Amino acid sequence: MRTFARAVAAVSLSLCFVLQPVLAQTQPNVIDSDEFFRRTSPAPTLRDHSQKIEALLKRMTLEEKVGQMTQLAIGMIASGADQNIKIDPAKLDKAIAKYGVGSILNVADQALSIDRWHEIIGQIQDAAKKTRLGIPVIYGIDSIHGANYVLGATLFPQEIGMAATFNPELMKRAAEITAAETRAAGIPWSFSPVLDLGRNPLWPRFWETFGEDPYVASVMGVAFVRGLEGSDPASQTAVASSLKHYMGYSFPLTGRDRTPAWIPENYLREYFLPPFTASVKAGARTIMINSGEINGVPGHINRHLLHGILRDELGFNGFVVSDWEDIKKLVTIWRIAPTEKEATRLAVMAGIDMSMVPSDYSFADHLVALVKEGSVPQSRIDEAVRRILRVKYELGLFENPGPSAALKTNFARPESRQVSLEAARESITLLKNTNNILPLSKNSKVLVTGPTADSLISLNNGWTYVWQGSEESLYPKDRDTVRRAIERKLGAGNVTYVPGTKIFRQAGSTSNNNPTSLEEEVDIPAAVQAARSADVVVLALGEGSYCETPGNITDLTIGEPQLKLADAIIATGKPVVLVLVEGRPRIINRIADRIPGIVMAYNPSNEGGTAIADVLFGDVNPSGKLPFTYPRTPNGLINYDHKPFETEDTAFGNMAFRPQFAFGDGLSYTTFAYKDLRLDKQTISGNDELGVSVTVTNTGARAGKEAVLVYVSDLVASISPPNRRLRRFAKVNLEPNQSRTLTFKIRRDDLSFIAADNKATIEPGEFEVKIGGLSQRFTLR
């Protein structure tokens, strides 16, 4: 949160050369997940700062060391709110001069302009320079889908949409832009990526994930980390990443945020650990901890996870930061400790290096007292501070802690906006296209209706300008909603807009309201009347914005007002195309079978309206694929890699697996044929690699991209095996009638599973490779 040996002018020039090739490059015709993963995942070799760190540690007092472990919210050093926030000199002096606070985070409710960030960060770092040792502050922010707390920044589809692209090169490009624009604001540390798995769609942070599959999350997570941190975190376009939320946070039994998860360790290691493992190996500098609990143990005191697995097994050498106020919550929520002082001891000894306190000095006061009384050893303090200082050195903060005006040239560039549009287009997933209703004719008279049709808020969701993404006044005025984009494409005279229903958030509400209760009918009869005069109806349904606990729901069914609108529009007999703008799969079984065209847009961000219109009217051929299983019923929650007996019609009486849409579903305006699935061996042993090839042909009339998904099934295992697991994928771009033979390597690790002893195990037996409806078997000796 860099060594600058060049003059400002030279620095500015170098930035252009750093960013320009990244933004201008043309994507390759084939993007192979394994090739990308192996090329980008090795962590870069950074300079060794050990001597400087040890010398500095020797000079530090206990209080100064504990200060480095303390993270405060910006409100602790500022006064005012929203756009009127300003540094309070007395508060700043207390935090930096008296307590030696090592980190500040967050905003005062709202995103700020890049100039305001420069002013604020500059004052903080100036205060740090004046302290006895001059240790810089590391400022952290949630740059979740772009530099979303900097007004005017380039924003990208939320992670769930980026996963739907199955394009890690595009994810890396988006992360590079996010890093450059975050650093341009003077902020060197981002609390991203989210590596939790979206395996329970009730969970209100589902849209922050890369979906339900650990391999997709691993590949896309590495792309995010390498994009943020680059080859050198001290460069002027990089920031430190923070992997979150380590781990199992996304799988609470109830689906409600921050409620208990019950996950056996072998299952935890099989599914939830791999994305973190991959990004640690890729060099991620920091990790944020699960705000919930697993098997009754809160993440912040789980030494087995924080030390035994993270440090001893994975070899993580960065620092670990708590989530918001979670040490205090060990007393108030989890009731693990009787006092905050004891909670502090438990958390620090379990492996927390920095506490996001964030609104008082209790952590620092308690920890100093604990060390003086011998309850926390000095060596543990030195260990944590050593890790924090290493990241500060690696970011170049000791040489250049403050913001640079030269870096503003990297902010909100036109090329960056084009990458955002490209990402939105590639994420959009065509789920149903009966009788080729899509693409629509540009000569059509179109009714646009539904609560997400004219909403940038729905296109973005949470972590957009404010935590909940709900402050309409902060959204850019020059970005098109779905309605405006269609009007721009067809001409306003050919488009009628009637909202039909409305999604709203109660002013100031932070309670656990069900978003479906915050909907209302507006003018459904008017929408019906307008439909009768239209050739086709674009029905935009979905969700408003939400994040974390305020997004908790108890029923995935889409809101009743929206269903009433859909029923009424369908009853007119006019062709309907449903556009789903939502962060999680809301149940639509009541209407889905009666609608010929269904498009999943996820939360495609500020360029999403344009991207949706481009797809609807055929200027872009959709290529997204679902990175999760879309349930048909509220209780039909099952993942693609379920056990075979869960869905087969067996003696157990289970029903056939019928999701609304399956993991990997996604249609195109062209057609693709798969043939000649070949294995280079029928039997492998030892460390043999298995070569797998398949030929994909574009059999349609227009160019298109296809995500080719490679599954492997272990047919018999000592732990009942899943029906299939995704092991590779590739995104291929084909012209009409063009064929390409793709080759994949399946390695020994791809055939392993975590056994009952919590260790990776490979058992001999028969396996099956499945690609595009084709399958071939092989034997492992």
Print the SS3 string covering 376-434.
Answer: CCHHHHHHHHHHHHHHHHHCCCCCCCCCCHHHHHHCCCHHHHHHHHHHHHHHCEEEEEH
Selecting among 142, 213, 323, 353, the annotated active-site residue is: 323
For strands 753-754 and 739-746, give the pairing.
unpaired
Report DSSP letters for 72-106, one per residue.
EEGGGTEES-GGG-EE-HHHHIIIIIIS---EEE-
Q: How far apart are CA 342 and CA 327, in angstroms?
A: 10
Q: Which residue has the tokens 């910006």?
A: 74
**pLDDT value at residue 653:** 60
555 a catalytic residue: no
**pLDDT value at residue 10:** 31
Tokens representing residue 666 in the block? 């996604």
List residues bridging with 694 in a β-sheet. Answer: 742
pLDDT (tens digit, 9 = 90+) per residue, 90-145? 999 999 999 999 999 999 899 999 999 999 999 999 999 999 999 999 999 999 99
Lowest-pLDDT choice from 151-165, 380-394, 490-504, 643-657:
643-657
- Using alpha carbons, select from 43, 23, 164, 47 the residue that is nearest to residue 604: 164
What number of helices (H) and strands (E) belong to the chain?
23, 31
Lowest-pLDDT choice from 8-22, 346-360, 538-552, 650-664:
8-22
pLDDT (tens digit, 9 = 90+) per residue, 450-482? 999 999 999 999 999 999 999 999 999 999 999
Q: How far apart are CA 621 and CA 428, in angstroms?
A: 10
- The residue-averaged pLDDT of 646-664 equals 77
**pLDDT value at residue 45:** 87
Q: Three-state SS for 547?
A: coil
Q: Are 451 and 562 in contact (CB under 8 A)?
A: yes
CA separation, residue 169 to residues 22, 23, 223, 632 (Å):
10, 11, 7, 32
> Is residue 427 over pLDDT 50?
yes
Average pLDDT of the chain is 93
Q: Which residue has the tokens 């007996």?
A: 645
- The residue-averaged pLDDT of 485-513 equals 79
| DSSP H/E element including 362 | helix 362-372
pLDDT (tens digit, 9 = 90+) per residue, 541-596? 999 999 999 999 999 999 999 999 999 999 999 999 999 999 999 999 999 999 99
Confidence of residue 716 (pLDDT cuts 50, 70, 90): very high
In this structure, what are the phi and psi dihedrals at residue 711, rounded to the nearest 5 degrees? Answer: -110, 150
